[in-house]
Amino acid sequence: MKGLQEIFENKSFGKILFNEPMRNHTTFKIGGPADVMIIPSNEEELINVIIFCRENNIDFLIMGNGSNLLVRDGGIRGVVIKVNEGFNELTVDGTKIYCQAGALLSTASKLALKHSLKNFEFASGIPGTIGGAITMNAGAYGGEMKDVVKMVRVLDKNNQIREYTNEEMNFRYRNSRVWDEGLIVLGVELDLEVGEYSAIEEVMKDLTCRRTSKQPLELPSGGSTFKRPEGHFAGKLIEDAGLRGLRHGGAQVSEKHCGFVVNVDNATCKDILHLISVIQKVVKDNHGVELETEIKLLGED
């Protein structure tokens, strides 16, 4: 830790934090400290810190809003680069919106509404960033990022900036070329359609109502905990297995929506993982279905 602090304390890569608790940067509100957290304020700083880490063999990982991350209680060794605040500009050009990777989906959807652009309503309540959404092809209520992306701008493993079309991104359920090749998303061009402001607004209001009434948005979580198993709904399988409200330590199967594991009382990562393992075993025993987690686990015990 001391070595990394000496290395980074005088560098111009944006905001630099040392021994920073990851619980302050994830929607689960869980996670031990990162040795170093860097929050770039522009694309140049982002690219420069990535190149610096690569050239000096310093382990690093990229995060966005932390909305689907579960960080272990021992924290993260090395550098966490947070692509969020300060790298979130949005630009409208006709029916296209160019989004820097740190822009929030909710902010981009509001901008689309302002300009009467439709087909991005599904993203209005997803709590992540554009970069994270592209990485995992985020989606909700029948829409996915692959439906609206025209071009993705990335930094590859050789520090080269490349642009890929929608077809070249290999989008699939909760996955993309970003995962496959270890790419880092810099920006995204969305290709939307002109619609009626009132109709777009109505869809967004309806989706917001459905989310707030059915999802435990009032409690810290990593969003939907499990991927949708083919032919089933994870939440229903968990409910039918009698697990609604099941608790371990500070972790609980949501009373509101069984597809969410929530942090109800200062849960640790171990609490969450134990509860997830119980859910998976009981659902497997009862229904013969293996639940796969949708959240990404990082860090050390």
Is there a domain that residue 222 lies in?
Answer: no
- My answer on whether 109 and 10 are in the same domain is no
Q: How many H helices and E strands in the chain?
A: 8, 18
Residues 203-237: tens digit of each pLDDT: 999 999 998 899 999 999 999 999 999 999 999 99
Is there a catalytic annotation at residue 174? yes
- Identify whether the C-beta of residue 136 lies closer than 8 Å to the C-beta of residue 174: yes
CA angle in degrees (0–180, nearest 5) for 278-25-75? 65
- My answer on whether 170 and 284 are in the same domain is no
Q: Residue 37 above 70 pLDDT?
A: yes
Q: What pLDDT is stored for residue 9 in this prediction?
A: 87
In whole angstroms, give the CA distance from residue 27 to residue 222: 6
Is there a domain that residue 161 lies in?
Answer: yes
Return the CATH number at 263. Answer: 3.90.78.10
Q: 3-12, 113-122, 133-142 — which one is most confidently predicted on average?
A: 113-122
Q: How far is Cα of residue 184 from the mean position of the Cα atoms in its chain? A: 14
Active-site residue, from 144, 174, 176, 189:
174
In whole angstroms, give the CA distance from residue 103 to residue 87: 7
- My answer on whether 95 and 206 are in the same domain is yes
Q: Residue 2 above 60 pLDDT?
A: no
Q: What pLDDT is stored for residue 185 in this prediction?
A: 97
- Identify whether the C-beta of residue 13 lies closer than 8 Å to the C-beta of residue 52: yes
Identify which of 220, 229, 228 has the alpha carbon closest to the alpha carbon of residue 269: 220
SS3 assignment, position 140: strand
Share of the chain above pLDDT 70, in %: 99
Return the CATH number at 105. Answer: 3.30.465.10
- My answer on whether 56 and 101 are in the same domain is no
- My answer on whether 98 and 157 are in the same domain is yes
Is there a domain that residue 197 lies in?
Answer: yes
User: What element of type H or E holds 227?
Assistant: none
Is there a domain that residue 157 lies in?
Answer: yes
Task: Work out the average pLDDT over 155-168.
Answer: 97
In whole angstroms, give the CA distance from residue 86 to residue 219: 27
Is there a domain that residue 229 lies in?
Answer: no
- My answer on whether 101 and 203 are in the same domain is yes
Q: Which of 65, 82, 99 is the last residue of a domain?
A: 82
Q: Which of 49, 82, 115 is the last residue of a domain?
A: 82
Q: Which residues of 226-237 are buried (b: 16+ CB within 10 A; e: fewer)?
A: bebeeeeebbeb
- My answer on whether 37 and 97 are in the same domain is no
Active-site residue, from 85, 201, 239, 294:
294
- My answer on whether 78 and 151 are in the same domain is no
DSSP bridge partners of 34: 20, 76
Residues 241-269: tens digit of each pLDDT: 999 999 999 999 999 999 999 999 999 99
Mean pLDDT of the chain: 95
- Identify whether the C-beta of residue 15 lies closer than 8 Å to the C-beta of residue 39: yes
Helices (H), the chain: 2-8, 43-55, 105-114, 130-135, 177-181, 197-214, 234-240, 269-287
Is there a domain that residue 188 lies in?
Answer: yes
In whole angstroms, give the CA distance from residue 32 to residue 25: 11
- My answer on whether 157 and 180 are in the same domain is yes
- My answer on whether 95 and 64 are in the same domain is no
CB atoms within 10 A of CB 255: 13
What residues contact 218, with CB distance under 8 A and at least 6 apart? none
What residues contact 3, with CB distance under 8 A and at least 6 apart? none
Q: Which of 82, 114, 139 is the last residue of a domain?
A: 82
- My answer on whether 98 and 159 are in the same domain is yes
Q: What pLDDT is stored for residue 3 in this prediction?
A: 87
Is there a domain that residue 152 lies in?
Answer: yes
Residues 188-197: tens digit of each pLDDT: 999 999 999 9
What residues contact 211, with CB distance under 8 A and at least 6 apart? 125, 217
Q: What pLDDT is stored for residue 274 in this prediction?
A: 98
- My answer on whether 99 and 58 are in the same domain is no
Active-site residue, from 124, 221, 224, 254:
224
Q: What pLDDT is stored for residue 1 in this prediction?
A: 47
Is there a catalytic annotation at residue 224? yes
Strands 76-82 and 60-63: parallel
Residues 73-97: tens digit of each pLDDT: 999 999 999 998 889 999 999 999 9
Q: State residue 189 phi and psi, 5-degree precision.
A: -105, 120
Task: Work out the average pLDDT over 54-68.
Answer: 93
Residue 247 in tokens = 């608790």
Number of domains in the chain: 3
Is there a domain that residue 48 lies in?
Answer: yes
DSSP bridge partners of 118: 193
Range of the domain at 267: 234-298
